[in-house]
Structure 1
Amino acid sequence: MRLAGAVVTGLRRTTTIALLLVLVPAVAALLVAAGVLCAPVSLATRGAWRPVRIAGFALLYLLVDLAGLVAAAGLWARRVPALRDRGERRAAAATDAFAVLERVLRLLRHAGERVFHLRVEATPPLAVAHGHTAAPVLVFVRHAGVGDSFLLLQTLLSEAGLRPHTVLKRALRADPALDVLIGRVPHCFLPPLDGRAEDAIGELAAGLGPGDTLVIFPEGGNFTPRRRRRAIASLRRRGLPRRASRAERMHHVLPPQDAGALAAIAAAPAADVVFVAHTGLDVVHSARTAWTRLPLRDSVRAHWWRIPAARVPPGDDARSEWLLGQWARVDRWIADHATPDATHA
Structure 2
Amino acid sequence: MTEAGVRRGRPARAARAVLTGLRRTAATTLLLVLVPVTAALLVAAGVLCAPVSLATRGPWRPVRMLGFVLLYLLADLAGLTAAAFLWARRLPDGRDRARRRAEDAFALLERLLRVLRRAGERIFRLRVTVTPPPPGASGGAAAPVLVFVRHAGVGDSFLLLQVLLGPAGLRPHTVLKRTLRADPALDVLVGRVPHCFLPAFGRRAEDAIGELAAGLGPGDALVIFPEGGNFTPRRRLRAIASLRRRGLRRRAARAERMRHVLPPRDAGALAALAAAPAADVVFVAHTGLDVLHSARTVWDRLPLREGVRARWWRVPASRVPSGDAARSEWLLAQWARVDRWIADHAGPDATHA
Task: Give the TM-score band, short-chain normalised.
Answer: over 0.9
Q: In structure 2, how many angstroms separate the alpha carbons of the residues matched to 1:250 and 1:288? A: 25
DSSP 3-state at the match of 2:290: helix
Instruction: Read off the aligned partner of 1:4 and give its amino acid letter.
Output: A
Matched, 1:292 2:300: yes
Q: In structure 1, how many angstroms separate the alpha carbons of the residues matched to 2:341 and 2:105? A: 35
Matched, 1:2 2:29: no
CA RMSD of aligned residues (A): 1.3
Report the more deviating stretch, 153-162 or 127-136.
127-136
Matched residue pairs, number? 342
2:137/2:167 contact within 8 Å kept: no
Equivalent residue for 2:87, pick from 76, 81, 85 = 76
Q: Cα–Cα, structure 1 residues 304 and 281, in superposed 2: closer, same or farther, change >3 Å?
A: same
Q: In structure 1, how many angstroms separate the alpha carbons of the residues matched to 2:323 and 2:139? A: 29
Counterpart position of 1:279: 287
Query: After TM superposition, what 4+ stretches of structure 1 lie above 2 angstroms from structure 2?
Result: 127-133
2:137/2:170 contact within 8 Å kept: no
Q: Cα–Cα, structure 1 residues 20 and 223, in superposed 2: closer, same or farther, change >3 Å?
A: same
Q: In structure 2, how many angstroms separate the alpha carbons of the residues matched to 1:160 and 1:154? A: 9
Equivalences for residues 258-273 of structure 1 within 5 A: 258-273=266-281
Q: Cα–Cα, structure 1 residues 231 and 59, in superposed 2: closer, same or farther, change >3 Å?
A: same
Counterpart position of 2:210: 202
Q: State the Cα distance separating 1:129 from its structure 2 match.
A: 9.2
Matched, 1:213 2:221: yes
Q: In structure 2, how many angstroms separate the alpha carbons of the residues matched to 1:107 and 1:343? A: 30
Q: In structure 2, how many angstroms separate the alpha carbons of the residues matched to 1:17 and 1:299? A: 34
Matched, 1:54 2:54: no
Counterpart position of 1:228: 236
Counterpart position of 1:109: 117
DSSP 3-state at the match of 1:51: helix
Q: State the Cα distance separating 1:133 from its structure 2 match.
A: 6.5
Counterpart position of 1:33: 44
Q: Please, which runs of 5 or more residues in structure 1 have no aligned partner?
A: none
Counterpart position of 1:45: 56
Q: Cα–Cα, structure 1 residues 279 and 129, in superposed 2: closer, same or farther, change >3 Å?
A: farther
Q: In structure 1, how many angstroms separate the alpha carbons of the residues matched to 2:162 and 2:334? A: 24
Q: Cα–Cα, structure 1 residues 131 and 226, in superposed 2: closer, same or farther, change >3 Å?
A: farther
DSSP 3-state at the match of 2:94: coil
Matched, 1:244 2:238: no
Q: In structure 2, how many angstroms separate the alpha carbons of the residues matched to 1:284 and 1:126? A: 25
- Indicate the percent of aligned positions where both proteins have the same amino acid: 79
Q: State the Cα distance separating 1:128 from its structure 2 match.
A: 5.0
Q: State the Cα distance separating 1:131 from its structure 2 match.
A: 9.3
Q: In structure 2, how many angstroms separate the alpha carbons of the residues matched to 1:342 and 1:6? A: 44
Equivalent residue for 2:196, pick from 188, 191, 199 = 188
Counterpart position of 1:331: 339
Instruction: Read off the aligned partner of 1:81 and give its amino acid letter.
Output: L
Matched, 1:64 2:72: no
Counterpart position of 1:140: 148
Q: In structure 2, how many angstroms separate the alpha carbons of the residues matched to 1:252 and 1:128? A: 29
Matched, 1:255 2:263: yes
Deviations 1:114-157 (A, max 9, x none): 00000001100023596996210000000000000000000000
Instruction: Read off the aligned partner of 1:83 and give its amino acid letter.
Output: D
Q: Cα–Cα, structure 1 residues 273 and 124, in superposed 2: closer, same or farther, change >3 Å?
A: same
Q: In structure 2, how many angstroms separate the alpha carbons of the residues matched to 1:286 and 1:183? A: 29
Q: State the Cα distance separating 1:239 from its structure 2 match.
A: 1.1
Q: State the Cα distance separating 1:92 from its structure 2 match.
A: 1.1
Instruction: Read off the aligned partner of 1:82 and give its amino acid letter.
Output: P
Q: In structure 2, how many angstroms separate the alpha carbons of the residues matched to 1:172 and 1:278? A: 22
2:140/2:219 contact within 8 Å kept: no
Q: In structure 2, how many angstroms separate the alpha carbons of the residues matched to 1:322 and 1:114? A: 40
Q: State the Cα distance separating 1:93 from its structure 2 match.
A: 1.0
Q: State the Cα distance separating 1:342 from its structure 2 match.
A: 1.5
Counterpart position of 2:5: none
DSSP 3-state at the match of 1:210: coil
Instruction: Read off the aligned partner of 1:210 and give its amino acid letter.
Output: P
Counterpart position of 1:174: 182
DSSP 3-state at the match of 1:10: helix
Q: In structure 1, how many angstroms separate the alpha carbons of the residues matched to 2:256 and 2:231? A: 14
Q: Please, which runs of 5 or more residues in structure 2 have no aligned partner?
A: 1-11
Equivalent residue for 2:100, pick from 92, 95, 103 = 92
Instruction: Read off the aligned partner of 1:328 and give its amino acid letter.
Output: A
Q: In structure 2, how many angstroms separate the alpha carbons of the residues matched to 1:310 and 1:129? A: 24
Matched, 1:16 2:24: no
Counterpart position of 1:303: 311
Instruction: Read off the aligned partner of 1:55 and give its amino acid letter.
Output: L
